[in-house]
Amino acid sequence: MNYIQLYKRLRNIYTTDEGTIRIPDSDISFHNLPFSSTPITGGKEPAGYRFDKKIYNALLRYYLKLNTYSNEYIFHSLNEKDENITENNSFNYIIVKKQSSGRANSCILLLHGLNERSWDKYLPWAFDLVSKTNKPVILFPLAFHMNRAPHEWSDPRLMREVSNERSRLFPEVASSTFANAALSTRLQFSPTRFLLSGVQTFYDIVKLLDNIRHDDHPHLSKGAPFDIFGYSIGAFLSQMLMMSNPKDHFSNSKLFLFCGGCTMDRMQPVSKAIMDSEAALALKNFYIDNNGNEFLNDEMIQSTLAQFEEGGKIFESMLDHTKMEEFRNSKFKTFADRCMIIPLQKDTVMSPESVDATLGKIMCNNIHPDDFPYQYTHENPFPVNERITGQVNESFHRIFDCAERFLT
């Protein structure tokens, strides 16, 4: 079965409604497991903007009066605290494993990209890794992504109206689409969400590993070690997990980075599938420009980073490749012999040059750029296109054979 056939088959089989989904003619199954997250307390007011409060609220009320879709489906979560979004706090994650393996002694954690709403493209990734390594793979959703977000944020009809409203408000906006309207609106009006959602996901993963260490997992044995497959923004989070090594959970872990590995300033996230230009500009202004003054002076951010302990300093070091280089590299050195990075030549979001600027001094021998003989993007490296089935299949297996050799 080639990659495209596998993709279509698994997409049709997987459902979030069942606890266990067995794949016919295979010894691999999907398991939906419940998880309860502890929300990161944020502010009720949109953070990152220093407008006069009265003027800001008046302008916001006027905008919402004229833009009913943004008001109903997006902005209510700006006026409500994010910790009240129940989908983000109680959700299922997926473990993919061989049915005959019992409780496994090791596992691979696969972390996905930014603004993802469906597991479809990752199901064959996980299936192939399980087949080749015999290790279970955990597909864990980032905060406010996948099944951790309200259904409305994925509704093309509703989000197309939100995108139209954004285009009227910002006539020069680029790459505004129904697919990125929810994320773009939330991050533009509150850039602190980028950090807060990352911190929540960080602690969720630590909690998951704590449960395994305490022999409280149905499919993994006590203390089963984790390797990580990090893709896109999942690579960014993976690096911080390895750099901080909370509770020594990742002391012996291997890290495989695909289409990722660079600092935030080297990312080019404007994309119809990720975020529009106004959201990207808001993040850049808040975290990077003006020596990061907005980011460094925000009281809520600093309070969060203080609770994050050394993780706060690690996050700051991953914002600008020209700053805190000595500290960042000292952390990279702790796992340089346990890391492999594959950027793609045509990737414009996290280019090979950007990855090299971040990791090249410490891990130059670990970086192996690749390229495929068809048109692909950062968001869609293996397009489901019947006309290039053979090329996509060959490229997919080249990358995942490499991952298998490294992670086994």
Question: Where is 203: in which H helix or E strand?
Answer: helix 192-213
Indicate the average pLDDT of the chain.
90
SS3 137: strand
In this structure, what token pair is assigned to residue 298? 């925000």
Using only C-alpha atoms, the chain has a radius of gyration, in whole angstroms, of 21
Number of helices and strands (H, E) in the chain? 17, 8
In this structure, what token pair is assigned to residue 160? 């197309």
Containing structural domain, residue 273: 3-407
Tokens 């390229």 appear where?
371
Number of domains in the chain: 1
Strands 90-98 and 20-22: unpaired
d(CA 178, CA 284): 22
- Is the Cβ–Cβ distance between 118 and 94 less than 8 Å? no
d(CA 329, CA 333): 6
SS3 180: coil
d(CA 166, CA 168): 5
List per-residue pLDDT tens for the chain, 408 residues long: 899 999 999 999 999 888 999 999 999 999 999 999 988 765 444 443 444 445 455 556 666 666 666 666 666 544 457 888 899 999 999 999 998 767 899 999 999 999 999 999 999 999 999 999 999 999 999 999 999 999 989 999 989 988 998 898 888 999 999 999 999 999 988 888 999 999 999 999 999 999 999 999 999 999 888 999 999 999 999 999 999 999 999 999 999 999 999 999 999 999 999 999 999 999 999 999 866 667 777 777 777 777 777 888 999 999 999 999 999 999 999 999 999 999 999 999 999 999 999 999 999 999 999 999 999 999 999 999 999 999 999 999 999 999 999 998
CATH number of the domain that 259 lies in? Answer: 3.40.50.1820
Write out the DSSP string of 266-281: G---B-TTSB-HHHHH
d(CA 182, CA 163): 8
Tokens 């409280």 appear where?
216
User: What contacts 30, CB < 8 A, 6 or more positions away?
Assistant: 13, 14, 20, 21, 23, 94, 95, 96, 123
**What residue type is assigned to position 310 of the chain?**
E
- Which strands, in side-by-side order, build the sheet including 226-231? 20-22, 28-36, 90-98, 137-139, 107-111, 226-231, 255-258, 339-342
